[in-house]
A and B are shown apart, each in its own frame.
Chain A
Amino acid sequence: MAAAEEVAEMVNATFSKAYLFKLLGSELADKRLADQIYKMGLDLEASSDEEITIDFPANRLDLIEIVGFARALRNFMRKGKAAKYEIKGVHIAAQIEVDPSLKDIRPFISAMVVEGIKFNEQSLKHLLNFAEKFTFTYGRQRKKLALGLHNLDTMGTDLRYEAAKDEEFVPLNSKSKMHFSEVLKKTEKGAAYSGTIGGASAKSYPVLRDSKGVISLIPIINSERTKVDVSTKNLFIEITGTSKYTVEKSVDLFAALFIDMGAKVSRVKVSYKGTTSLLPRLQSATMDIPLLAIEGNIGVIIGFNNVISLANKMGYKAGLVGKKVRFWIPEYRLDILNQQDVIEDIAIAYGYDYIQPVPIYAEQAGEYERSTIRNQRVSELMMGLGFSEAMNTHMTNEASNFSDMRLKASDHDHVTVRDAKVQNITMLRTWLLPSLLRNLGASAHEKMPQKIFELDLTFIVSSMGVEEKYKLAGVITDPKSNFNQMKAIIEEILYDLGSTFQVKQNLHSSFIDGRCASVRVDGREIGVFGELHPEVLGNFGIEEPSIAFEIELW
Chain B
Amino acid sequence: MHRYELAVLKALQSGEMLSLEELVVRSVLGKDAVLWAIENLSGCGAIESRRESHDEAVLTEEGARYAKGSLPESDMISRAQLEPIAVQSLKDNESRIGLQWAKMQELITIDKGMITITAKGRAAIKSGIPEEQVLKRLLKDSGAVASLLKSNKVQIENLSRRRLIVISSKSAIGGLKITAKGMEMLGGSPKAEEIEALDRKMLSTGSWAGKKFKKYDISVAVEREAAAKKHPLRGMIERMRDVHIAMGFKEFSGPTVIPAFWNFDTLFTPQDHPAREAQDTFYVSHPSSLALGPAGLVSQVKTAHETAWHDDWLAKVAMQAVLRTHTTSLSVQQLYNLARYKDYKMPLKLFTIGKVFRNENVDYKHLLDFYQADGIIVGENLTMANLFDTLIKLYKSLGMKVRFKPAYFPFVEPGAEVQAFYEPRKEWLEVGGTGILRREITGITKKSVTVLAWGLALERPLMIKDDSIQRLTDMYNGGIGWLRQRRLQKW
Contacts and interface: CB of A to CB of B under 8 A. Distances in A.
Contacts of A438: 477
Interface string A116-154: 000000000000000000000100100110000000000
Interface string B40-67: 0000000000000000000000000000
B406 A389 contact: no
B433 A439 contact: no
Nearest to B380: A296
Interface residues of A, number: 110
A166 B254 CA distance: 53
A48 B408 contact: no
B357 A395 contact: yes
B215 interface: no
Interface stretch (A199-207, A229-237, A416-424): A416-424
Interface string B92-104: 0000000000000
A355 B385 contact: yes
Contacts of A386: 228
A40 B407 CA distance: 9
Nearest to A55: B407
A251 to B, nearest CB: 14
Among B233, B244, B345, B414, find the residue whose CB has the most chain A CB atoms closer than 10 A. Answer: B414
B405 A360 contact: no
Given A366-B250, A417-B284, A417-B323, A353 B310 contact: no
A1 B112 CA distance: 28
B158 interface: no
Interface string A498-532: 00000000000000000000000000000000000
A415 interface: yes
Nearest to A56: B408
Interface string A463-495: 001101000000000010000000000000000
Contacts of A143: 272
B278 interface: yes
A461 B141 CA distance: 50
B261 to A, nearest CB: 14
A461 B480 CA distance: 31
A40 B283 contact: no
6 contacts: A4-B365, A297-B383, A343-B413, A364-B248, A386-B228, A419-B359
B214 interface: no
List 9 tightest A-B contacts by C-beta distance, closest first: A41-B406, A299-B383, A299-B385, A366-B245, A57-B408, A5-B457, A357-B389, A344-B414, A442-B479
Interface string A312-343: 00000000000000000000000001101101
Contacts of B87: 48
Interface string B347-388: 111000001010111100111111010000101011111101
Interface in B253-279: 253, 255-257, 272, 274-275, 278-279
A383 interface: yes
Contact of B284 (A338, A383, A416): A416
B408 A297 contact: no
Contact of B408 (A58, A369, A376): A58
B231 interface: yes
A72 to B, nearest CB: 13
Contact of A244 (B272, B310, B410): B310
A8 B230 contact: no
Interface of A: 1-10, 14, 38, 40-41, 46, 48-51, 53, 57-60, 137, 140, 143-144, 242-246, 296-300, 337-338, 340-341, 343-344, 347-348, 352-353, 355-360, 362-369, 371-372, 376, 379, 382-395, 414-422, 425, 428, 438-443, 445-447, 450-452, 457, 459, 461, 465-466, 468, 479
Contacts of B310: 243-246
Contacts of B247: 366
Interface in B389-430: 389-390, 392, 403-410, 413-417, 429-430
Contacts of B392: 357
Contacts of B249: 364, 366
A368 B245 contact: yes
A363 to B, nearest CB: 6
B79 interface: no
A445 to B, nearest CB: 8
A391 B233 contact: yes
Given A344-B413, A419-B278, A48 B368 contact: no
A296 B414 CA distance: 13
Given A6-B326, A60-B408, A457-B256, 12 more contacts: A1-B463, A4-B367, A7-B433, A8-B407, A8-B409, A10-B408, A340-B436, A357-B389, A358-B385, A360-B382, A369-B252, A425-B368
